[in-house]
Amino acid sequence: MGGRSRAAVELLKGRGFGEVYNLKGGLRAWQGLTAWGAESSGLGLLQGREDRQGMLEVALALERGLAEFYRSLAVRDLPAPVAGLLQDLARVEDLHQDKVRGLLGGDAPAEGTEAELPLVEGAIPSRELIASLEGQGMDLAGILDLAMMIETQGMDLYLRLARLAGPGEGKAEMLELAQDEKAHLTALADLRQDLPPDTSERP
């Protein structure tokens, strides 16, 4: 346990947080879930699209890819609660696409004509997500865990894009999208916490 992490724990306790942990051994001792890909993951999508419009068009394609990913899973032979959750997640991504189109305004591509990418929000290959799900089972808890990971990766990507962009070049929009992902992540975490511990809606 380092001095900085101990100080952070005391700061959070002083702000009213009742459940705060300090990992013995620090980051090197962490054995839990980790983010996918290198820090530069997804930034290659911007080659030739480093301006505000290019960043938003990439974001639109990634949001659309995630909505289609969820819908492709929902048509599988799954229990009704799981399929319903996937459809709900797809509708949330539809709303986010509408927001990105609004940010693009008159520069938005005609619906259905934006670039096709074999990736979803956060620049994660959809085939890797399917493999991950099939390995852990498509129950409510597994779908929510996956969705939270995707939203975290999406928030991280938008924050990194914001750092690359200058004022008026997409910085404000990328920060806004990152905040949206944070809100999605919070809502998903609340749903996950409300699940009974023995939830296992497996086909």
Domain boundaries, the chain: 1-32, 36-194
SS3 203: coil
pLDDT, one tens digit per residue, over 7-35 is: 777 777 777 777 777 777 766 666 665 55
pLDDT at 95: 92
Which of 185, 176, 183, 115 lies closest to 150 in space, CA to CA? Answer: 185
Structure tokens at 148: 């939270």
**Architecture of the CATH domain 36-194:** Up-down Bundle (1.20)
- In this predicted structure, the answer to whether residue 131 has a pLDDT above a threshold of 80 is no
Q: What is the mean pLDDT of residues 86-92?
A: 92
- In this predicted structure, the answer to whether residue 201 has a pLDDT above a threshold of 80 is no
Distance between CA atoms of 12 and 79, rounded to whole angstroms? 41
197 vs 77, residue with greater confidence: 77
Q: How confident is the model at residue 112 (pLDDT cuts 50, 70, 90)?
A: low
pLDDT, one tens digit per residue, over 141-185 is: 888 888 888 888 888 888 888 888 877 788 889 899 999 999 988
pLDDT at 94: 92
pLDDT at 87: 94
- In this predicted structure, the answer to whether residue 65 has a pLDDT above a threshold of 90 is no
pLDDT at 202: 38
Report the predicted TM-score, pTM, of the whole model to 2 decimal places.
Answer: 0.69
pLDDT, one tens digit per residue, over 30-61 is: 666 555 555 555 555 555 556 788 888 888 88
Which of 35, 49, 36, 37 lies closest to 161 in space, CA to CA? Answer: 49
Q: Are 86 and 130 in contact (CB under 8 A)?
A: no
Share of the chain above pLDDT 70, in %: 69
Which contacts of 175-181 are long-range, i.e. CB under 8 A and separated by 24 or more positions?
176/103, 177/59, 177/96, 177/99, 177/100, 180/96, 180/99, 181/121, 181/151, 181/152, 181/154, 181/155
